[in-house]
Chain A
Amino acid sequence: MPAPIRLRELIRTIRTARTQAEEREMIQKECAAIRSSFREEDNTYRCRNVAKLLYMHMLGYPAHFGQLECLKLIASQKFTDKRIGYLGAMLLLDERQDVHLLMTNCIKNDLNHSTQYVQGLALCTLGCMGSSEMCRDLAGEVEKLLKTSNSYLRKKAALCAVHVIRKVPELMEMFLPATKNLLNEKNHGVLHTSVVLLTEMCERSPDMLAHFRKVSLVPQLVRILKNLIMSGYSPEHDVSGISDPFLQVRILRLLRILGRNDDDSSEAMNDILAQVATNTETSKNVGNAILYETVLTIMDIKSESGLRVLAINILGRFLLNNDKNIRYVALTSLLKTVQTDHNAVQRHRSTIVDCLKDLDVSIKRRAMELSFALVNGNNVRGMMKELLYFLDSCEPEFKADCASGIFLAAEKYAPSKRWHIDTIMRVLTTAGSYVRDDAVPNLIQLITNSVEMHAYTVQRLYKAILGDYSQQPLVQVASWCIGEYGDLLVSGQCEEEEPIQVTEDEVLDILESVLISNMSASVTRGYALTAIMKLSTRFTCTVNRIKKVVSIYGSSIDVELQQRAVEYNALFKKYDHMRPALLERMPVMEKATTNGPTEIVQTNGETEPAALETKPPSTGLQPTSQANDLLDLLGGNDITPVIPTAPSSKPASAGGELLDLLGDLNLPGSPVSAPAPQISQPPFLLDGLSSQPLFNDIAAGIPSITAYSKNGLKIDFTFERSNTNPSVTVITIQASNSTELDMTDFVFQAAVPKTFQLQLLSPSSSVIPAFNSGTITQVIKVLNPQKQQLRMRIKLTYNHKGSAMQDLAEVNNFPPQSWQ
């Protein structure tokens, strides 16, 4: 058989292949030749064949049949054979194949070989693919080699030890004694690998970390780093004028790990960090790489504030650099530090905002995230302008994130309601189709709550969808608003803007076209249909048209639309008397969580309003000092501090099969409202249903009582009972002030007996104006499962006539209908 071709020949041949198919053919032919050669147990050319096999493996062709051959090569005595054999082992074998264990003995022998290069090969291979069994067997040998004086072997042994520790963490202690002298080497190779080994040990085990901190590793590292910086030009370690930057970066990283959360270590390294930061040359990329690592270290350890400011200034300088890589790196680090050093980062805000206009995608993304982190009450207008401009021009992959970020920031820092609505409108019109689905209910809630802006909002939304109704979230919000506030739209009253003349027919036209359009999603159609229905109570002349539209959809193919239409039809026919009440204007929705400056004063043992929705009631409550006050108040053992319950999301319903029908509807709004429990009812069909006073007052007129009247302060309780949940009583308190001076900082607290549960919602304000000219309202919900007689103790604190007043009282005159 002719001698197998050399590797170079093979490569040349493959290069001549013009297509993938040709290449595959050549490789298959060669593979066949190699296989037959292996079968013949040919020793002389095995090395060559395995080399070719490895090349083919690198190109992506299977080469597993060469694994045993690699083992045979390793066992051979020739160095060239061993070299290819070990290489093959590293590339083709790993712990998933059973044959790899056969290597263990070979490696062991080679670790004790007389030639250092063979020992080096063995160490390399073990450090690359050694399995845990192999590592356990051979760890002792590695440790021995770690202590040898041969620096070539020492550095390889250190890297092998890193791998052993990763595979078998229990063996870490074994290498500990050897590490004592590792840093005393002059050879940079050994130093570098030793630092890697120490880093790995410190990262894996907190005990090791503590140990190294104690044996004053930090001063040693500082010394080495200092030598590196101060020493003159050394040709073997020089990279663009800096001496061994790779080692410097490694040492800085190890210092970072050692200094984290440790004051003493951090102090020991303050000087050297300052020195590196100021002395490193920044004209080349190498210098910047070292500065970057230094900045990361400074931010991570407990450094003094001067050093931190220096670090942020370095990052600021990076931002102005022309090199893209450096700007990217600077933006990434600023993002990490913006939480802790907010003010310092603010100084560079304008540069960051400029980066939004950069061409590079990664830089734009970083700049966007950082901009959102920097928005605050002062700069919100300017920042928003930039961000909206960015939203217009950015790539589609950013638009969703940008839109969500803008909504969040606008909610937190909006300077005025009109600005807020304008911003939302702008986002909806520019990136309407990228807005996330859960933004729609949030927006609707926001619009509902800004009562005075209703006319303005609906007008703008109407104008927006007149031209283009393809962006689903925009159309959904717009349909909902038109349905709610259509009467404002046609009456043409709008203070903020030039009112437009719209007739009822035009409004219905646009809603119908949304319904018909192919571009509308099924959800959007649902919105539109409901909006049309709501308009039947708000519009006067077009009710017949609405009836017609609704009855057409009674036979729609879409089940959702059909169900709605059928029920609305029923509303027209049989239940026409209920229609106005059902389709009444939505009340202002209560928000259980706040995202911004508005505070909810919870006075019953809980300080965080956000905890209301995240904590289940059982984990609720550690008595705060307020609750302790109440306990003092109450004295007796039968009364406990109140535990707030999560807001119940049951819409009240008056009886009737109509409402059962409606109650079964799976409204598209309701799954969305589940993750946002602050919306306590789906904002569509059950609009009127959820306004409890309407039904409950009709159903059960409970007399209101005066709970407290003293010193000019009068508190009235009005009651409502929920019919779906008879054990819930909703009490609305009204506090009024008949004296001639206002009462400020008014706080109402209440406690009930153990068998009850109480929930206090936020008060309307904390100031009671004088002369009965206004009141504070607050809602209390009482859960009374055992139907016991309602009793309550209340505590009032307020400031009046310049002095702080406080009073306790018990309320016993609850009417029987409120709790029976």
Chain B
Amino acid sequence: MIKFFLMVNKQGQTRLSRYYEHVEIHKRTMLEAEVIKHCLSRSKDQCSFIEYKDFKLVYRQYAALFVVVGINETENEMAVYELIHNFVEVLDKYFSRVVSETFLLLNVGQELHG
């Protein structure tokens, strides 16, 4: 089961977040900060799955933006990895321009629905 879906930039600013389970609002910021810290500390030749607390993080980097999905153990990690890419491709098609932070930023309302 997917627990959350995050898009965070390298400086740690959240560009998009969607939680599928209830998480307290102040805990969310802490979680996001820790998650981005883990992702930033990974090098290029390490795998995209991180074990974090009692669930897994699947992350993928697109330029300056990290897309991170938190999953529990019932999910197929590689399928989620593909899902992330699919989602980014969809965004790209929909906004018909190169995906960059700015465009995600400015179209937040539409993405949250998507």
A199's nearest neighbour on chain B, judged by CB, is: B74
A-side binding surface: helix, strand, loop or mixed? helix
Which of B28, B45, B83, B108 interacts with A246 by CB under 8 Å?
B83
Please provide the chain B residues from 68 to 86 with a CB less than 8 Å away from any CB of chain A in the complex.
Answer: 76-79, 81-83, 86
In the complex, per-residue mask of A296-332: 1 if CB is within 8 Å of any chain B CB, else 0? 1000000000000000000000000000111111000
Cβ-based interface call for A710 (8 A): no
Which residues of A sit under 8 angstroms from B48, Cβ to Cβ?
Answer: 324-325
Cβ-based interface call for A289 (8 A): yes
- Can you report 5 residue pairs joining A to B where beta carbons are below 8 Å apart? A7-B108, A94-B22, A239-B86, A245-B79, A288-B78
**In whole angstroms, what is the CA distance A11 to B16 when docked?**
13
Which residues of B sit under 8 angstroms from A8, Cβ to Cβ?
Answer: 106
Which one of A51-59, A424-432, A470-478 is at the B interface? A51-59
A-B contact count (CB 8 A): 89
Q: Are A325 and B81 in contact (CB-based, < 8 A)?
A: yes
**In whole angstroms, what is the CA distance A789 to B17 when docked?**
80
Please provide the chain A residues from 229 to 252 with a CB less than 8 Å away from any CB of chain B in the complex.
Answer: 239, 245-246, 249
Please provide the chain A residues from 324 to 378 with a CB less than 8 Å away from any CB of chain B in the complex.
Answer: 324-329, 359-363
**In whole angstroms, what is the CA distance A15 to B16 when docked?**
14
Please provide the chain B residues from 57 to 114 with a CB less than 8 Å away from any CB of chain A in the complex.
Answer: 76-79, 81-83, 86, 105-106, 108-109, 112-113
Cβ-based interface call for A60 (8 A): yes
Knowing A11-B106, A54-B112 touch, does A60 contact B29 (C-beta < 8 A)? yes
Q: Are B83 and A324 in contact (CB-based, < 8 A)?
A: no
Nearest CB of A to B104, in Å: 10
Cβ-based interface call for A465 (8 A): no
**In whole angstroms, what is the CA distance A11 to B106 when docked?**
7
Knowing A60-B28, A87-B113 touch, does A96 contact B22 (C-beta < 8 A)? yes
Q: Are B78 and A289 in contact (CB-based, < 8 A)?
A: yes
Which residues of A sit under 8 angstroms from B51, Cβ to Cβ?
Answer: 362
Which residues of A sit under 8 angstroms from B113, Cβ to Cβ?
Answer: 83, 87
Cβ-based interface call for A407 (8 A): no
Q: Are B45 and A362 in contact (CB-based, < 8 A)?
A: no
Which residues of B sit under 8 angstroms from A596, Cβ to Cβ?
Answer: none
Task: Please list the 10 inter-chain residue pairs (A to B) with the smallest Cβ-Cβ separation, ordered nearest first.
Answer: A324-B47, A289-B78, A60-B29, A360-B46, A328-B47, A289-B79, A249-B79, A325-B47, A293-B76, A8-B106
Cβ-based interface call for B2 (8 A): no
Nearest CB of B to A204, in Å: 13
Cβ-based interface call for B26 (8 A): yes
Q: Are B47 and A11 in contact (CB-based, < 8 A)?
A: no
In the complex, per-residue mask of A75-86: 1 if CB is within 8 Å of any chain B CB, else 0? 000000001100
Q: Are B17 and A362 in contact (CB-based, < 8 A)?
A: no
**In whole angstroms, what is the CA distance A7 to B47 when docked?**
37
Cβ-based interface call for A91 (8 A): yes
Nearest CB of A to B66, in Å: 16
Nearest CB of A to B60, in Å: 10
A sample of 20 more A-B contacts (CB under 8 A), given A83-B113, A289-B78, A292-B78, is A8-B106, A15-B105, A54-B112, A58-B14, A58-B16, A60-B28, A91-B112, A128-B20, A239-B82, A245-B79, A246-B82, A246-B83, A286-B82, A288-B78, A296-B76, A324-B47, A325-B48, A326-B78, A328-B47, A329-B49
Cβ-based interface call for A220 (8 A): no
**In whole angstroms, what is the CA distance A550 to B112 when docked?**
74
Cβ-based interface call for A62 (8 A): yes
Nearest CB of B to A367, in Å: 12
Cβ-based interface call for A285 (8 A): yes
Q: Are B112 and A363 in contact (CB-based, < 8 A)?
A: no
Which residues of A sit under 8 angstroms from B106, Cβ to Cβ?
Answer: 8, 11
A284's nearest neighbour on chain B, judged by CB, is: B82
Q: Which residues of A contact B (CB under 8 A)?
A: 7-8, 11, 15, 51, 54-55, 57-60, 62, 83-84, 87, 91, 94, 96, 128, 239, 245-246, 249, 253, 285-286, 288-289, 292-293, 296, 324-329, 359-363
Knowing A58-B16, A362-B51 touch, does A324 contact B45 (C-beta < 8 A)? yes
B109's nearest neighbour on chain A, judged by CB, is: A51
In the complex, per-residue mask of B22-35: 1 if CB is within 8 Å of any chain A CB, else 0? 10011011000000
Q: Which residues of B contact A (CB under 8 A)?
A: 14, 16-17, 20, 22, 25-26, 28-29, 43, 45-51, 76-79, 81-83, 86, 105-106, 108-109, 112-113
**In whole angstroms, what is the CA distance A62 to B28 when docked?**
12
Knowing A58-B16, A60-B25, A285-B78 touch, does A362 contact B86 (C-beta < 8 A)? no
Q: Are A329 and B78 in contact (CB-based, < 8 A)?
A: yes
Which residues of B sit under 8 angstroms from A286, Cβ to Cβ?
Answer: 82
**In whole angstroms, what is the CA distance A84 to B106 when docked?**
16
**In whole angstroms, what is the CA distance A296 to B108 when docked?**
37
Nearest CB of B to A165, in Å: 14
Which residues of B sit under 8 angstroms from A362, Cβ to Cβ?
Answer: 46-47, 49-51
Q: Are B82 and A285 in contact (CB-based, < 8 A)?
A: yes
Nearest CB of B to A801, in Å: 62
Which of A58, A96, A249, A329 interacts with B108 by CB under 8 Å?
A58
Which of A84, A326, A360 interacts with B109 by CB under 8 Å?
A84
Nearest CB of B to A121, in Å: 9
Q: Are A325 and B82 in contact (CB-based, < 8 A)?
A: no
Which residues of B sit under 8 angstroms from A239, Cβ to Cβ?
Answer: 82, 86
Q: Are A363 and B47 in contact (CB-based, < 8 A)?
A: yes
**In whole angstroms, what is the CA distance A8 to B49 when docked?**
34
A252's nearest neighbour on chain B, judged by CB, is: B76
Nearest CB of B to A621, in Å: 40
**In whole angstroms, what is the CA distance A57 to B106 when docked?**
16
Nearest CB of B to A545, in Å: 54
Which residues of A sit under 8 angstroms from B46, Cβ to Cβ?
Answer: 324, 359-362
Which residues of B sit under 8 angstroms from A7, Cβ to Cβ?
Answer: 108-109
**In whole angstroms, what is the CA distance A7 to B108 when docked?**
9
Which residues of B sit under 8 angstroms from A87, Cβ to Cβ?
Answer: 109, 112-113
**In whole angstroms, what is the CA distance A7 to B82 when docked?**
31
B73's nearest neighbour on chain A, judged by CB, is: A332
Nearest CB of A to B41, in Å: 10
**In whole angstroms, what is the CA distance A324 to B82 when docked?**
15
**In whole angstroms, what is the CA distance A84 to B110 when docked?**
10
Knowing A11-B106, A246-B83, A285-B82 touch, does A59 contact B22 (C-beta < 8 A)? no
**In whole angstroms, what is the CA distance A58 to B8 when docked?**
12
Which residues of B sit under 8 angstroms from A54, Cβ to Cβ?
Answer: 109, 112
Which residues of B sit under 8 angstroms from A15, Cβ to Cβ?
Answer: 105
**In whole angstroms, what is the CA distance A363 to B49 when docked?**
10
Knowing A7-B109, A285-B78, A285-B82 touch, does A62 contact B47 (C-beta < 8 A)? no
Which residues of A sit under 8 angstroms from B83, Cβ to Cβ?
Answer: 246
**In whole angstroms, what is the CA distance A8 to B51 when docked?**
36
Which residues of A sit under 8 angstroms from B17, Cβ to Cβ?
Answer: 58
**In whole angstroms, what is the CA distance A212 to B45 when docked?**
44
Which of A11, A84, A94, A329 interacts with B105 by CB under 8 Å?
A11
